Structure 1
């Protein structure tokens, strides 16, 4: 039996097959009988099971409501083939809306679909698109399952999320419509558009509404400028504000900049990836790998674009090429000129010739072991020179 251009309140399709409809069918048959002899078989009434097994809807609108009468979903299909028990329907050319609290939360379309469990689950397949009109995210995948009672859209195989701020692919994921949050799982590749960032990890939670992404799995981030890599990062936990352009990375943070040529190791940093500013309030080590200069401190502020670094609290600078050490309470480091300005309880140690200096301030170029030390008004610079031992 084919029905066209009908609105069906799923799963109550069996209402179409009540006694009134069968009676109408018998009257129609009687009125239109031909002059040929009527046999007993012609007058047999079709059973309900026979009609049910052939129920097909063409160009139909299907919808489901909750106990309060609020619409859960409403879809248009070119064709819907129902099972005998009306609990399952196979759909072709699906297009419609998914609702939450009476409001549309997703526009969906697909080539094929299935309604199961009396409308409690909807599966979509082939050429799937789901768009949230509230925030503009577009979700695609090979298979999608909508669970209206849980307000969850399950995406399986080749998940792709597209937004003006971010694009991401993953093996699978879940979209929580109440929170407007997309969970991505497995082989994730996410791309921030401005400035270009490439993120690789195995788990991300994307708060689309508030423009945040976060993850607690090992993560690698690459920053680009005109298709050239400027920075590389790794950590085990991340929170990114896409709105502000600031990322917080935690646990075994490794940062590499190509210009200036430095590496940063710490346990937590705040990274303004637009301005290339780094802040660290935990013990940090900065290694200038071109000249082999290592600087450590308990706090650091790094301006990579202007090539300036300020370290404080227990600062130590080590020149590995020409062994020397500089200790201070604070260090201002111009990474372009290698000029340093150390202040507060300054101690300078040099290997060849072996000598120590103490003072309140030191200015110079540490890679050349060329420093000028000054004392304050009350203290003089103290110099200790150690003569070489005779062999």
Structure 2
């Protein structure tokens, strides 16, 4: 623990004023923990508090610089276990380029923990984030944002809102284990929105995985997707779910449920598999094993044990394939290649 003073002016009492202040801190085996240099300081030895101008510091772990710290003005408090700075702080990891800005910084080298608090703004070539607090594990290069987190993945134009977000910088991922909202932007306008109880975004592949109580709202086509888990490819604008899914097309007022689904957003095409049930706005329905939904043409193509029902006029068609518009009740049912006949059931109306 070394305090070097240059060009000093000392007064009797509790406060000393120095034009140059340099603080070095080492551990029990002599490894450097931090260095701080300032041009001017008011230093109170009794409570180890100093008000310094233009401080610059280096934080060390395992003998290597893990963060560089600077500010226009800051208060410094230190002991053998930690360093505390208060002011407009900028901390930069020279290894990966992460920049953290805040109003308080605490360095606990024995815990390998750097904490930046109070109006956090983090910036990197891949991510920009704001939060109330950031906690950094320097050896692992893992950053945890806590409280009112808003993080932007720059390449994919994706914004995440949650209360806690983990950023393993080396792994190029953003991970949320708490409820999260994900907004997709194009030309500064929200085009898609996803919600779930947990999510992860791969910054390298631009693929988001959302799990637990997933809801995705698309602007074009105007559609709501509800499922247990979904993979959202932000490069191809594709959503894939291998769990039970419910789809609502708001404009057509058509609802479809299935065991699995794939949504190709630019092509406005939906592929649904397993126990597919579609219901139109006049309670007409279609059941099948597979269904392709061409949203821009308002057409469906169903295959496998097809059953189509409508109430007005009351009809039931059974076959292997079906094609048409469920809302206009213009459906063609065929027997496919199985040799099975199409079965038509006509339900007579009761006489008045």
Alignment TM-score, normalising by the size of structure 2 = 0.92
Report the count of equivalent residues: 344
Shift of 1:355: 1.4
Which residues of 2 match residues 59-208 of structure 1 at below 5 A?
Answer: 59-84=20-45, 88-92=48-52, 93-110=54-71, 111-118=73-80, 120-208=81-169
Shift of 1:265: 0.7
Shift of 1:325: 0.7
Aligned residues: CA RMSD? 2.0
Residue in 2 aligned with 1:10?
2
Is residue 213 from structure 1 mapped to residue 205 from structure 2 by the alignment? no
Residue in 2 aligned with 1:261?
222
Q: Runs of 4+ in structure 1 displaced over 3 angstroms? A: 50-58, 79-85
Which residues of 2 match residues 339-354 of structure 1 at below 5 A?
Answer: 339-354=299-314
Shift of 1:68: 2.7
Q: Within 2, Cα distance between the matches of 1:91 and 1:243?
A: 43
Change (3 A) 1:188 1:300: same
Is residue 358 from structure 1 mapped to residue 318 from structure 2 by the alignment? yes
Of residues 273, 295, 309 in structure 1, which corresponds to 2:270?
Answer: 309
Q: Determine if contact 2:214/2:228 at 8 Å carries over to the other structure.
A: yes
Q: Determine if contact 2:88/2:104 at 8 Å carries over to the other structure.
A: no
- Alignment gaps of 5+ in structure 1: 1-8, 17-49
Q: Within 2, Cα distance between the matches of 1:76 and 1:227?
A: 43
Q: Determine if contact 1:341/1:361 at 8 Å carries over to the other structure.
A: yes
Q: Within 2, Cα distance between the matches of 1:61 and 1:145?
A: 18
SS of aligned partner of 1:243: coil
Shift of 1:233: 1.6
Of structures 1 and 2, the larger Rg is shown by: 1
Q: Within 1, Cα distance between the matches of 2:2 and 2:41?
A: 11
**Alpha-carbon deviations, 1:77-133, whole Å to 9, x = none?**
223455446x72415121021111111110111221313223x22112222100011
Alignment TM-score, normalising by the size of structure 1 = 0.83
- Alignment gaps of 5+ in structure 2: 6-10
**Alpha-carbon deviations, 1:152-184, whole Å to 9, x = none?**
111221011111111111112212212212211
Q: Determine if contact 1:80/1:89 at 8 Å carries over to the other structure.
A: no
